[in-house]
Structure 1
Amino acid sequence: MTNRLFDASVAPASLPEADVRGPWAYLWWLVRIRPWPLVLSGLLGAVWMVPLALIPLVIGRAIDEAGQGGGQADLYLWSLLALALGVVQALAGAGLIQAAVGAEAHALSHTHRVLMRHVVRLGAALRGKARSGDVAASAAADVESIGNAFEVVGRTIGAVFAAVLVAVALTATSPLLGLAVLIGVPAAVLGIGPLLQPLQVRDEAQREQMGIATSQAGDIVAGLRILRGIGGEAGFAERFRRTSQEVRRAGESAGRMEAWLQAAGIFLPGLVTVGIVWFGARLALQGTITAGELVAFYGASAFLTLPVSTATEAAETLSLAKVAAGRVCTLLRLTPDATQPAHPEPLPPGPLSLADAHTGIAAEAGRLTVVVAPTDRTGDLADRLTRPGGSDDGAPAVLLGGIPLDRVDLAELRSRVLRSGPTDTLFSGTVREELTAEAAHSPHDLDRALFTADADDVVEALPAGLDTRLDEGGRALSGGQRQRLILARALLAAPDVLVLEDPTSSVDAHTEARVAERVAAARAGRTTIVFSDSPLWRGVADREVRLDADRIPGSLDRSAGVPS
């Protein structure tokens, strides 16, 4: 893309590097960098769940007090206690919602930020390292799954704490019933465990299919004009239908496993409740426990279905979060092609020369050089000239102002060297925002860039001129209009070194001639390299370099008029 690439030094200091050793390591990293939302959520979860667990015990005690001839004062006292527990639960519930949403927002925002920071760090290298669908799915579905896991933590902590409290209280009343609770509830939770691994496998399969479908959809939308031109629209639509059916089948498979998990979360604690009620009724008939204690045991056992269902939800959510965190870690482990040198060397001020002894490309400072090379090689050559490590064949480094490219500070390199090629795109927003990138440019500079790129007529034809909103990719524009706006954006950035890959391939000869002459005049005194075999560009060049497929350089210095 035609922009200034990301400088890691400007990343927010408050956001440390993520732990990407694995999904659990990443989730624990999110907890460590801001634990208080989860701590508060857990405390409020306990305060919210405990009154709900104690209310059956209070009601049972009230029944016993009434049956034993207790006075109205005792009955009112227990009733007020039940009311107080209800008020505490309501207040804690309101706080729990806020704390849980805060914990969820923390996980969402930090995951979004580390993803965005790393995507920008990767820059153009991302295209060759990950599918666009994987990036989009991680930024949407995976981030949401991680946030859901943080939201459920508070309720889960409260459920566990309340379940232990109820088990202790029931054990104090009846050791046999308490033992039944202590055995039955964990058994119900453990009974759900065998379903988690198959659910995780199916979730991963569904996530993989979603990434493929998203990538295909993006490719079809981006190339719809071309597909229609070659009659391939129906074929690609059929491919996407087949892929979408794969997504549907994967979703149904995961959904069936989720349904079994939900059913187990209801059935297993239901069995525990039935068993405790049956056992408690027998103890009541034997006179071992009172009627009030039987009611308390029934209410408590019915309450225990809530902790079990909460534990089921937490297990399912954490399973999804593990899959999502694994995908996020996969993206975060991608490495950029260029790395910051340990001891960067500053570039000299003023115009910069660019020389590559391996290919024979030599651009003198402040001059326009046209490189004629096989079309399928221009992208690799432009990579080599503008990106440290652009070639892995052991060739000598490219020299920028006499400094090896891999020794230049990345921030300085990306502020002084700009590459614009056929893969550049226009983003959504107004034309003015797109061209200026919200940087400080005078109206005169903007008008001059549009004139140089012969794009002023493109802006004049738009309904609101520079304030016209563009769709993503500038789909409403023709190929030539998009190319000229992209060139204007590159010219407006005014880098010391500008590398252009066939910048006029989509315009007619008359427009190309005007653009070539104007670029040569506007870039006078600044280094410009143009990859093109057009005679119109070669006619305005200060220097021409010809490269064959075997990288055997041959050049002609027009200023000297003799082969160099």
Structure 2
Amino acid sequence: MTNRLFDRSVAPAALPEADTRGPWRYLWWLVRVRPWPLVLGAVLGTAWMVPLALVPLVIGRAIDEAGRPGGDQAGLLLWSLLALGLGVLQAAAGAGLIQAAVGAEAHALSYTHRVLMRHVVRLGATLRDKARSGDVAASAAADVESIGNAFEVVGRTVGAVVAAVLVAVALTATSPVLGLAVLIGVPAAVLGIGPLLRPLQERDEAQREHMGVATSQAGDIVAGLRILRGIGGEAGFAERFRRTSQDVRRAGESAGRMEAWLQAAGVLLPGLVTVGIVWLGARLALQGTITAGELIAFYGASAFLTLPVSTATEAAETLSLAKVAAGRVCALLRLTPDDTQPAHPRPLPPGPLSLADPHTGVTAEAGRLTVVVTPADRTGDLADRFTRPGGPRDGTPAVLLGGVPLDRVDLAELRSRVLRSGPADTLFSGTLREELAARADRSPRELDRALFAADAADVVEALPAGLDTHVDEGGRALSGGQRQRLVLARALLAAPDVLVLEDPTSSVDAHTEARVVERVAALRAGRTTVVFSDSPLWRGVADREARPGPDRVPGSPDRSAGVPS
């Protein structure tokens, strides 16, 4: 449900930076960014709640007018019309309150989603090393929803507070004793709920942590399901996930029990206040201190007070959950990318670019195909050095790209001219054509050439609608070899000046690999290509082969020089 009044689009560039110094500061930042939905919700919430509080008082006066000997019928009619007017006002304000509350909730949801997605893009490939995928998914779903719920209840809460104060003042003016009972009883009922909030928050945090672990495990299992079946590990991982699911269930039950106690307190405590006020009012009526109409008014007003207390209970609960959720969101937003923009970037030379690593001795000549033979467990570290501009973190010199240190290259230029493709790459959901040819300036001929070079044309032909077939997230319906060839085709179609490939044919058979290496070498002729592989087929088509010394591979002590061949 959306409303154009609250659905004005905000350009990504205009989205301000979030305040991540703490959960309350983040929630207050959301309020400051766009306060009007909350202000309107508070006004309409007050206009909706106050008539509810005044109706019992008006009806009490009408009863007194009707019961007075020789009562004034005009006065009775006036109070009756006033009660009707309050009902109409409440109905109109209630309709507007729904719209305002949804608008405030949509604002919190939208902005939190935007700042999360923007930061995920900023983190890029470093996100996998800094946060579990389950934490990101849970924040984008459950945490964002919890924050939105807190904004939705603000209007009703403000209205409840104003109405409760108004009722207390009105009752005090009629009977100071009853007014004092209300002024003491209602805050006491609200404060009595307070001790339950901390345990609820702690149990919600525990449940959220278990949910993040379970989501991460589920994603890992789905991504590697074919491999798990192949090695007979499917049952073992299913049992592990079953245990994790039970942990989530137990944590949810624990949080649910505490929430049930909170809800019960929200009914019991204001109920006790109502019973006490009615008993005291009845005693005063018997003594003749108050009239029958005033007694009815007191009863109706005290019964109404259960609504503000229950609303306050709901607000306390949602704010507690929102605090936990905002803390999780802030933790993600505080993650910093390893790749930073240099203060004074240097431009790269035009044309083919060379790569040279002074630390490992590995060099890739401009416009040539270089195969780097290195231990499989160190391939990712070397590929990071060749493509990540974070700079030398262990005291080693930076890699030179076209003679320019990698940590001095402008990030936008680096990402447009250097592309890394490895086993962690995946396929996103959408049509295969959109997935492969994301850039509009790629022609159908170039797409066909990339598919041919990756030996993926048969994969496309086997799909029901060819390139227009919708691909599930991660390409789950495809085999490992099919996914790898399509990912390779996507990298080739991008046609970067420098292409770094990590084991690009590890999931295909030898015949397919032979075709791929020959075609890739032909397609990439004149452009710099670095392939990390120990396959003799790749080494056979290489213009140059490099073997960094084992002690020079990132993560190893620096004791010997690399040995390029």
Q: Matched residues in 2 for 1:242 and 1:513: separation?
A: 44
Q: How many residues align?
A: 547
Greater CA deviation, 230-239 or 300-309? 230-239
Instruction: Summarize the Cα distance change of 1:79–1:438 in structure 2 as closer, same or farther, 3 Å threshold.
Output: farther
Instruction: Summarize the Cα distance change of 1:11–1:227 in structure 2 as closer, same or farther, 3 Å threshold.
Output: farther
Q: Matched residues in 1 for 2:13 and 2:122: separation?
A: 16
Matching residue of 2:398: 397
Q: Is the 8 A contact 2:391 2:398 kept in 1?
A: no
Q: How far apart are 1:391 and its partner, in Å?
A: 4.7
Q: How far apart are 1:475 and its partner, in Å?
A: 2.0
Identify which of 541, 553, 562 aligns with 2:562: 553
> Secondary structure at 2:13's aligned position in 1?
coil
Q: Matched residues in 1 for 2:377 and 2:245: separation?
A: 34
After superposition, residues 314-329 of structure 1 pair within 5 angstroms as: 314-329=315-330
Q: How far apart are 1:66 and its partner, in Å?
A: 1.1
After superposition, residues 374-385 of structure 1 pair within 5 angstroms as: 374-385=375-386
Does residue 120 in structure 1 map to residue 121 in structure 2? yes
Q: Deviations over 1:467-495 (max 9, x none)?
A: 11222222222222111111100011111
After superposition, residues 326-365 of structure 1 pair within 5 angstroms as: 326-365=327-366
Q: Matched residues in 1 for 2:139 and 2:171: separation?
A: 46
Q: Is the 8 A contact 2:391 2:407 kept in 1?
A: no
Matching residue of 1:285: 286
Opposite residue 545 of structure 1, the aligned amino acid is: A
After superposition, residues 76-225 of structure 1 pair within 5 angstroms as: 76-225=77-226
Matching residue of 1:30: 30
Q: Is the 8 A contact 2:135 2:216 kept in 1?
A: yes
Q: Matched residues in 2 for 1:339 and 1:453: separation?
A: 33
> Secondary structure at 2:12's aligned position in 1?
coil
Q: How far apart are 1:349 and its partner, in Å?
A: 1.6
Q: Deviations over 1:1-50 (max 9, x none)?
A: xxxxxxxxx98122111111111011001001000000100010001000
CA-based RMSD of the aligned residues comes to: 1.3
Q: Matched residues in 1 for 2:233 and 2:535: separation?
A: 31
Q: Matched residues in 2 for 1:450 and 1:457: separation?
A: 9
Q: Matched residues in 2 for 1:403 and 1:144: separation?
A: 46
TM-score when scaled to structure 1?
A: 0.95
Greater CA deviation, 422-431 or 20-29? 422-431
Q: Matched residues in 2 for 1:403 and 1:391: separation?
A: 14
Opposite residue 340 of structure 1, the aligned amino acid is: Q
Matching residue of 1:562: none
Instruction: Summarize the Cα distance change of 1:98–1:53 in structure 2 as closer, same or farther, 3 Å threshold.
Output: same
Q: Matched residues in 2 for 1:510 and 1:261: separation?
A: 66
Q: Matched residues in 2 for 1:475 and 1:347: separation?
A: 39
After superposition, residues 144-543 of structure 1 pair within 5 angstroms as: 144-389=145-390, 391-437=392-438, 439-543=440-544
Q: Is the 8 A contact 1:374 1:547 kept in 2?
A: no
Q: Matched residues in 2 for 1:271 and 1:548: separation?
A: 79
The runs of 5 or more residues in structure 2 that have no matched partner are 1-9, 553-560
Greater CA deviation, 50-59 or 451-460? 451-460
Q: Matched residues in 2 for 1:130 and 1:445: separation?
A: 37
Opposite residue 138 of structure 1, the aligned amino acid is: S
Q: How far apart are 1:390 and its partner, in Å?
A: 6.1
Q: Is the 8 A contact 1:350 1:496 kept in 2?
A: yes
Q: Matched residues in 1 for 2:400 and 2:458: separation?
A: 39
Opposite residue 47 of structure 2, the aligned amino acid is: V
TM-score when scaled to structure 2?
A: 0.95
Q: How far apart are 1:513 and its partner, in Å?
A: 2.1
Greater CA deviation, 236-245 or 304-313? 236-245
Matching residue of 1:3: none
Q: Deviations over 1:204-241 (max 9, x none)?
A: 01111111111111111111111111211111111111
Instruction: Summarize the Cα distance change of 1:42–1:544 in structure 2 as closer, same or farther, 3 Å threshold.
Output: same
> Secondary structure at 1:106's aligned position in 2?
helix
Q: Is the 8 A contact 1:374 1:548 kept in 2?
A: no
Q: Deviations over 1:309-366 (max 9, x none)?
A: 0000000000000000111111111111111111211212221111111111111211
Opposite residue 28 of structure 2, the aligned amino acid is: W
Q: Is the 8 A contact 1:43 1:158 kept in 2?
A: yes
Q: Matched residues in 2 for 1:430 and 1:418: separation?
A: 22
Q: Deviations over 1:156-187 (max 9, x none)?
A: 00000000011111111111111110010000
The runs of 5 or more residues in structure 1 that have no matched partner are 1-9, 557-564
Matching residue of 1:13: 13
Q: Is the 8 A contact 1:383 1:390 kept in 2?
A: no
Q: Is the 8 A contact 1:547 1:553 kept in 2?
A: yes
Q: Matched residues in 2 for 1:504 and 1:235: separation?
A: 29
Q: Matched residues in 2 for 1:162 and 1:352: separation?
A: 72
Q: Deviations over 1:524-560 (max 9, x none)?
A: 221111111222222222221112311231122xxxx
> Secondary structure at 1:13's aligned position in 2?
helix
Deviating above 6 A after TM superposition, structure 1's stretches of 4 or more consecutive aligned residues are: none
Q: Deviations over 1:263-290 (max 9, x none)?
A: 1000000011011111111111111111
Opposite residue 210 of structure 2, the aligned amino acid is: Q
> Secondary structure at 1:236's aligned position in 2?
helix
Q: Matched residues in 2 for 1:32 and 1:172: separation?
A: 38
Opposite residue 494 of structure 1, the aligned amino acid is: A
Q: Matched residues in 2 for 1:495 and 1:339: separation?
A: 21
Opposite residue 330 of structure 1, the aligned amino acid is: A
Q: Is the 8 A contact 2:345 2:410 kept in 1?
A: yes
Matching residue of 2:556: none
Instruction: Summarize the Cα distance change of 1:390–1:235 in structure 2 as closer, same or farther, 3 Å threshold.
Output: farther
> Secondary structure at 1:394's aligned position in 2?
coil
Q: How far apart are 1:412 and its partner, in Å?
A: 1.0
Matching residue of 1:65: 65
Instruction: Summarize the Cα distance change of 1:199–1:259 in structure 2 as closer, same or farther, 3 Å threshold.
Output: same
Q: Matched residues in 1 for 2:71 and 2:342: separation?
A: 83
Q: Matched residues in 1 for 2:240 and 2:538: separation?
A: 42
Q: Matched residues in 2 for 1:402 and 1:535: separation?
A: 30
Q: Is the 8 A contact 1:367 1:542 kept in 2?
A: yes
> Secondary structure at 2:478's aligned position in 1?
coil
Q: Matched residues in 1 for 2:367 and 2:125: separation?
A: 27
Q: Is the 8 A contact 2:360 2:549 kept in 1?
A: no
Q: Deviations over 1:435-487 (max 9, x none)?
A: 11253321111111111111111111222111112222222222221111111
> Secondary structure at 2:153's aligned position in 1?
helix
Matching residue of 2:53: 53
Q: Deviations over 1:30-85 (max 9, x none)?
A: 00100000010001000100001000010011011111232322211111110000
Opposite residue 320 of structure 1, the aligned amino acid is: L
Opposite residue 211 of structure 2, the aligned amino acid is: M
Opposite residue 54 of structure 2, the aligned amino acid is: L
